[in-house]
Structure 1
Amino acid sequence: MKIWGFILGGWMAFSAVLRPGQAQDVVLAQGPGVHLTLENFKEAYTDYLLRTGRTDSPLLRLQFARQLVAEALVVHEARQQGIEADPVYQEERAALEMKLLVEAYARQVLYDTVQVRETDLAEAFVRLNTQLRARYLLAPTRAAAESLRARLEAGESFETLAREVFRDTLLAHRGGDVGWFSFDDMDPAFEETAFSLKVGEISSPVQTAYGWAILQVTDRFSKPVLTETEFAQKRPLLERYLRYRKQQAAREACARSLADSLAIRFEPATLRRLYDRITGRVEQPLETLDPELLQAPLLTFGLKGARTTWTVADFRAQAQRTSRAQREAAARSVEALQEFARGLVVRHVLAERARNAGLDRTPGFAQTLQKALDRWVYDYIKQQALAQLRLPEDTLQAYYTAHQEYFRLPARRAVWEILVPTEAEAYRLRAALDTADFSDLARRYSKRPGAATTGGYLGYVTQEQLGKVGAQVFAAQEGEVLGPLHIPAGYVLLKVGGWRPEQPMTFEEARPQIEALLRPEFARQHWQHYLEQVLARYADKVTWTKDFRLEAPAAMRMP
């Protein structure tokens, strides 16, 4: 409440200088690409304070207003210089339009029906004051999750199965234990299931954003005394958040129902070829796909008699309108890729329905799209400017000299690899080593991109880089061949070479680490200087409201 008091005090002090009825439409700053109103400022500034936890002050208001104006000027300059003709901009515009169309359709069809009941608020308040500890197992499909649950009921342990499903991660070593968590700390479906379980109870499979999970709550602690005053203080935020969660749940339920009604069917052979290409199991330049594969039918969907077919090229065009993180998650397994493609189909159909309903022709949609594009342009220009940042050589050298003892190369071993998709093939090649050279076999049979050139040589690698097989490699004798060993990409044979012991890094070897340490602060200063230059270029073209002019001290820093 303290933040809100400061904010309200600020608005009241400023509004006192305005004529009656003027507060709602007053323009604080006007210029090329700049139209900052009091209402716009209030909305952005309030969100900033709540997001950062900073305390309101007159100086901070000035800083923030300057920041908003500088951002608008950066976007204006980029548009003046023709960024809208850039293919990167065009691609981003298409992606944002698709996303906002789906959101507009969901808002019109689904969100108005969402209600937050008093019982929902009470339960959320209890959860907010409760902590759970749980462990889980993850599977790509419901059938695989059911199999894991059956194995648990047959007596196998979470510890054993976690090492199998999570492979070489912290979760594998901790038996799937996620530690203590509370309200809104986890995936919504995961959380909903966990709070419904008794301590020790094992859940049925539940679909999360990361796959199908089997949960077990291992401990629970609730705050013993909860007061009406505390509930009243938290109620507005809880109501807003629960409404958002219910809207998302309604949207996901609609997507699942739509996916079922569309009867999406895949071509298994094409799906497998595409997966092998995406995961690097087929050696091919990353920038290209076989033209024949691009034209291959991947899936069909729609009502009987009006089915639509997507080729791999169609799928790729849709996938390019998603984030890198989404595409990387789709490469975890064939099942994950399949689910990703289903999601793209649902998104496409919802966007088409939104267009058919004319939602893309409303003033509100155009404004929302423009605002999202402005944000992207600003972030893009910032990214481009910071990509050119070069840290001073003398600063890097001085840091290395002062902290040299911390920069050391771990022990490494030379390793050669043969990667194949099946265990049977790995055993066949292992037997062939009696009469064939390891590198020759790697050139002929390894599925690792580049193996045909390198003969499977991975170079000198650390134990950490080798993941779960690292300990075996570092315990092996020079010249020894290990395997077949199972890794996420398939099965490998590894030939172990000589040692390079731990040793101090040279300056060039330490440079990437030093730059990573120092770059954030240099980037902040560099971008701040860039914004100040933009403001200076337009100083005589931006008009401020007399009672809100920003004649800030030179030492003032933007937030």
Structure 2
Amino acid sequence: MKALSLALVGLLLWSGCRSDSAQRTLLAEGPGVRITADAFREAYLDYLLRTGLSDHPRLRRLFLEQMIQEALVVYEARRQGLERTPAYQEEAQAVETKLLVEAYARRVLYDTVQVREQELAEAFVRLNTEVRARHLWAPTRAAAESLYARLQAGASFEELAAEVFQDSTLARSGGDLGWFTFDEMDPAFEDVAFRLQPGEISPPVQTAYGYSIIQVTDRFTRPILTEVEFAKKRPLLERYLRFRKQQAAREACARSLADSLQIRFYEATLRRLYARIAGRVVQETEADRDDWMQAPLLTFGPAARRVTWTVADFREQARLTGAAHREAAARSPEALKEFARGLVVRHVLAERARTAGLHRTPDFAAARQQALDRWLYQYVRQQVQAEAVVPEDTLRAFYEAHRADFRMPARRAVWEILVPTEAEAHRLQRLLATTDFVALARRYSRRPGAATTGGYLGFVTQEQLGKLGPAVFRAREGDVLGPLRVADGYVLLRVGAWQPERPMTLEEARPLIERQLKPYFARKRWRQYRATLMAQYAERITRYLSRLDTLCLTPSTDA
């Protein structure tokens, strides 16, 4: 956010510009290319805000070339029939649902959002303030409340961070996040952190990632803040705060709607669904799977018009969300419930928007086309870059030059049983006297895939094991360690064979070398692809550079 403000003066005023009818004025045209002044202005201003760069004629021309290249990539993708692929059709469904919810929010919620002068002044101070804080994270409110109670009872951030964080840096540093400023953290986290005094500890705070308990350890505010600086940054701050308040209004609306819909779950189905996601379901017949897909999962709506979703309905709705959301839903049964509630709310809002005919407006059609064009561009880019190959002679030369750097660290074979409570871990520990570790892992471990692997984690390094590493590497082959506290519950670990450190062979080092070198060759291949397209269509693209150079960046002056 600090970088964004640097471009403010340069983008607000551009000397020598003239008015234009932006929606009709073309800056470039050709096959698949139709870049209007209005489209350029919107994209270019966003670029300046994101990068902190200042407006300049040369930068305008470079940015126009980038827009032309993107349009040609999309044009070629459509010409080759990519919009007829299942991946495109699925994305079109997801985009339409997302835009319907956005259109409904804009119509019902956004007009009521106002940014007060006091909020602008507070944001300006935050923009010039840096805060250092540490936190403890928990996936659920109950777990967060338990951590908070332990802090109140005298436990330290350091000992609790070592328990809750799998990230070794956070675990060792007591959850220290370092210095941050305005718009660098989750909004809910930021609001609390900026209001805390150094040393003060917050109660659990719900964020987009779970729950955090925050302690500010230091803060610094630039001592001289002038009215002139505030006036320069005011338009940017107002735009940003309006966006944040719109997002907050959407979240509040979603929570209120979820409550009013009275969403109820079939708990047995939910538990079975989570078990399948976690990989703890035994092999089923095709008939069993078909029956399972039709099992009712949840109901919602008024008593007279309750709607029931089966597992198949849930999967269809979940398919239209991003991979990150689906992965978050797999963390726990509670997270899965929250994910399902969000799907219901999204579905209801989209249906309300559709009933109101919001999908028939020109603005909706334009937004849909723009979103799908962006997706096509990224899809083609990923496909082209994925085809990049590190030449064999380059790979071998790199290995020979850096052979000493490629070493296989010492590793231990490890099996794991993960359970939610210490009492359950002790019960399984007692069962080990008469039952095989692998059999217990298959039956009881909550780790995804344990039913198949028997809890086998493979040969792992001490670093991969985090805080458990030293104990595992001191153990003898065949020892069972635990119960040990981890972020997801309690584990029992069976320690197996030892593999000492040794040099890597070329084949073992190959994935590491490819990971290091492939980004260069992927970027090179992508540049070549775009250059080929530009050369193919060069004579059919017309640019109106005099219009570009004199374009006003403030649309209010357009005729």
TM range, smaller chain: 0.7 to 0.9
Worse-superposed segment, 61-70 or 76-85: 61-70
**TM value normalised by structure 1:** 0.87
Secondary structure in 2 aligned to 1:207? strand
Matched, 1:199 2:198: yes
Q: Deviations over 1:34-90 (max 9, x none)?
A: 112233233323333433345655554444323222221221222222222211111
Worse-superposed segment, 327-336 or 484-493: 484-493
Report how far residue 173 of structure 1 moved. Answer: 2.9
Q: 1:548 to 1:509 in 2, by over 3 A?
A: farther
Q: Deviations over 1:2-48 (max 9, x none)?
A: 867877998848x6xxxx85776332332222112233233323333
* Matching residue of 2:529: 530
CA distance in 1, matches of 2:155, 2:8: 54
Unmatched 5+ residue regions in structure 2? 549-559
* Matching residue of 1:355: 354
Secondary structure in 1 aligned to 2:471? helix
* Matching residue of 1:44: 43
Q: 1:149 to 1:113 in 2, by over 3 A?
A: same
1:267, 1:297 within 8 Å by CA — same for their partners in 2? yes
Q: 1:322 to 1:216 in 2, by over 3 A?
A: same
Q: 1:53 to 1:516 in 2, by over 3 A?
A: farther
2:140, 2:210 within 8 Å by CA — same for their partners in 1? yes
CA distance in 2, matches of 1:152, 1:7: 48
CA distance in 2, matches of 1:160, 1:129: 33
**TM value normalised by structure 2:** 0.87
Secondary structure in 2 aligned to 1:290? helix
1:4-43 residue pairs with structure 2 within 5 A?
12=16, 25-43=24-42
Report how far residue 520 of structure 1 moved. Answer: 1.8
Letter in 2 for 1:226: L
Letter in 2 for 1:228: E
CA distance in 2, matches of 1:519, 1:478: 39
CA distance in 1, matches of 2:448, 2:545: 64
CA distance in 2, matches of 1:45, 1:396: 40
Secondary structure in 2 aligned to 1:474? helix
Q: Deviations over 1:385-404 (max 9, x none)?
A: 11111111111112222222
Secondary structure in 1 aligned to 2:538? coil
Secondary structure in 2 aligned to 1:498? strand
1:490-505 residue pairs with structure 2 within 5 A?
492-505=491-504
Matched, 1:75 2:74: yes
Q: 1:121 to 1:419 in 2, by over 3 A?
A: closer
* Matching residue of 1:229: 228
Secondary structure in 1 aligned to 2:303? coil
Letter in 2 for 1:215: I
Worse-superposed segment, 62-71 or 98-107: 62-71
1:283, 1:447 within 8 Å by CA — same for their partners in 2? no
1:184, 1:191 within 8 Å by CA — same for their partners in 2? yes
Secondary structure in 2 aligned to 1:524? helix
Secondary structure in 1 aligned to 2:237? helix
Report how far residue 414 of structure 1 moved. Answer: 2.7
Secondary structure in 1 aligned to 2:280? coil
1:282, 1:449 within 8 Å by CA — same for their partners in 2? no
2:417, 2:492 within 8 Å by CA — same for their partners in 1? yes
Worse-superposed segment, 480-489 or 108-117: 480-489
1:270-289 residue pairs with structure 2 within 5 A?
270-283=269-282
Q: 1:455 to 1:23 in 2, by over 3 A?
A: closer
Report how far residue 284 of structure 1 moved. Answer: 5.6
* Matching residue of 1:264: 263
Matched, 1:102 2:108: no
Q: Deviations over 1:465-485 (max 9, x none)?
A: 233322221111133333344
1:10, 1:58 within 8 Å by CA — same for their partners in 2? no
Secondary structure in 1 aligned to 2:540? coil
* Matching residue of 2:254: 255
Report how far residue 374 of structure 1 moved. Answer: 0.5
* Matching residue of 1:91: 90
Worse-superposed segment, 21-30 or 431-440: 431-440
Report how far residue 101 of structure 1 moved. Answer: 0.9
Report how far residue 405 of structure 1 moved. Answer: 2.0
Report how far residue 94 of structure 1 moved. Answer: 0.7
Matched, 1:392 2:391: yes
Letter in 2 for 1:145: A
Report how far residue 301 of structure 1 moved. Answer: 1.1
Secondary structure in 1 aligned to 2:305? coil
* Matching residue of 2:121: 122
Higher relative contact order (CA 8 A, sep 6+): 2
CA distance in 1, matches of 2:9, 2:453: 66
Q: Report sequence identity in percent.
A: 66
1:137, 1:215 within 8 Å by CA — same for their partners in 2? yes
Report how far residue 137 of structure 1 moved. Answer: 2.8
1:77-226 residue pairs with structure 2 within 5 A?
77-167=76-166, 169-226=168-225
Q: 1:289 to 1:363 in 2, by over 3 A?
A: farther
Q: 1:181 to 1:504 in 2, by over 3 A?
A: same
1:271, 1:298 within 8 Å by CA — same for their partners in 2? yes
Letter in 1 for 2:115: V
CA distance in 1, matches of 2:453, 2:198: 54
CA distance in 2, matches of 1:530, 1:397: 26
1:371-410 residue pairs with structure 2 within 5 A?
371-410=370-409
Report how far residue 95 of structure 1 moved. Answer: 0.6
Aligned CA RMSD, in angstroms, stands at: 3.3
Report how far residue 279 of structure 1 moved. Answer: 2.1
2:6, 2:53 within 8 Å by CA — same for their partners in 1? no
CA distance in 1, matches of 2:129, 2:167: 31
CA distance in 1, matches of 2:153, 2:13: 64
Q: 1:515 to 1:39 in 2, by over 3 A?
A: same
Q: Deviations over 1:326-365 (max 9, x none)?
A: 1111222221211111111111111111111111000000
Report how far residue 100 of structure 1 moved. Answer: 0.9
CA distance in 1, matches of 2:66, 2:140: 47
2:278, 2:446 within 8 Å by CA — same for their partners in 1? no
CA distance in 1, matches of 2:442, 2:139: 33
Secondary structure in 2 aligned to 1:390? coil
Number of positions where the alignment pairs a residue of Structure 1 with one of Structure 2: 544
Q: 1:23 to 1:361 in 2, by over 3 A?
A: closer
Unmatched 5+ residue regions in structure 1? 550-559
Q: 1:101 to 1:191 in 2, by over 3 A?
A: same
Report how far residue 234 of structure 1 moved. Answer: 1.6
CA distance in 2, matches of 1:101, 1:275: 29
Q: 1:472 to 1:57 in 2, by over 3 A?
A: same
Report how far residue 107 of structure 1 moved. Answer: 0.9
Report how far residue 455 of structure 1 moved. Answer: 6.2
